[in-house]
Amino acid sequence: MKDAKVSIIVPCYNQAQYLDEALQSVLDQTYKNWECIIINDGSPDNTTEIAENWIAKDKRFKYYYQENAGVSSARNLGITNALGEYILPIDGDDKIAKDYINHAIEAFEKDISLKVVYCKAEKFGDETGNWNLAPFSLKALALDNMIFCSAVYRKRDWELVGGYDDNMQEGLEDWEFWIAFLKNGGNVLCLDITGFYYRIKLVSRQKKLDTVIKDKLFNYLSMKHADFFVQYLGSFGALNNNLLKEREAFSRKLKSEKFVLDLFCKTFFGFTIFGKINKK
């Protein structure tokens, strides 16, 4: 297993200005048995030119082009043509630490029950700092996604779930994939290293998701994986009841904090923050 091939899948759409950084982080890996498949998802920029430069630099880089069909389709194209036993997706504007793959493969070697290996993450770009994600559990996964796309897994497991869902073109495709991937079992490990660097941009695909699109995606998820959500969160009636309780608790807390702050300001400064100014 130490010599297992890892296929790194890099879909690109309008990310040419960042692609060199992403691919340099691949080239810098201490683990050497990898191939890197770059998929141009119909991008109108100079992705092709940059990809060809990397192919000339190292034969382990490969390149495919498709008409724009979304990140799920692009990843599926790359993985379909991948020769590796293991898969590691990386978006064209992100980066990985040089020892990330080495640590991941070592983890798989030590524990054959592992299905997904990921790591701690750090933000860079327009925002910096640790990306503090919730610890993994299936119940937590039912509430929100905590595994970014750049985790390592076996190609055969990707095949078993039918790949990434092409219907999730507008976002949340990673969340859907991990639900499909893990809901029927399999152990998950988060490495105690910072191995993934997530670029934050002022404008991104996820930030463009409006309420209507989000509602559509959530509805699709809830129908496709209704068994999963009911198993870990209960019936939809129970969910609604819990949501009402949380809102009531938050409202009480907010009123309490407002009361304390108003009392403090009135006592020491002669006015209230939230109410009408009272002069002494």
Which CATH number fits the domain that encloses residue 40? 3.90.550.10
pLDDT of residue 240: 60
> Would 99 be classed as within a structural domain?
yes
CB contact set of 25 (below 8 Å; sequence gap of 6+): 90, 95, 96, 97, 98, 197
The residue with tokens 């937590």 is 140
What's the rounded mean pLDDT across residues 54-82?
97
- Residue 30: which domain range? 6-210
Q: With respect to residue 167, please indicate whether it lies within any of the assigned structural domains.
A: yes
pLDDT greater than 90 at residue 214: no
Tens-place pLDDT, residues 129-181: 999 999 999 999 999 999 999 999 999 999 999 999 999 888 899 999 999 99
Q: What is the pTM assigned to this prediction?
A: 0.82
Is the residue at 235 inside a domain?
A: no
Number of structural domains in the chain: 1
The reply to whether 202 falls in a domain is yes
Give the whole-angstrom CA distance, residue 161 versus residue 141: 17
In a domain? residue 76: yes
Q: Is residue 181 part of a domain?
A: yes
**225: helix, strand or coil:** coil
Residue at 148 is within a domain: yes
- Closest by alpha carbon to 62, among 42, 83, 43, 76? 83
Residue 249 pLDDT class (50, 70, 90 cuts):
confident
Structural domain includes residue 262: no
Percent of the chain with pLDDT over 70: 82
240 or 60, which is more confident: 60
Residues near 211 by beta carbon (within 8 Å), at least 6 away in sequence: none
41 closest CA partner among 205, 195, 256, 228: 205
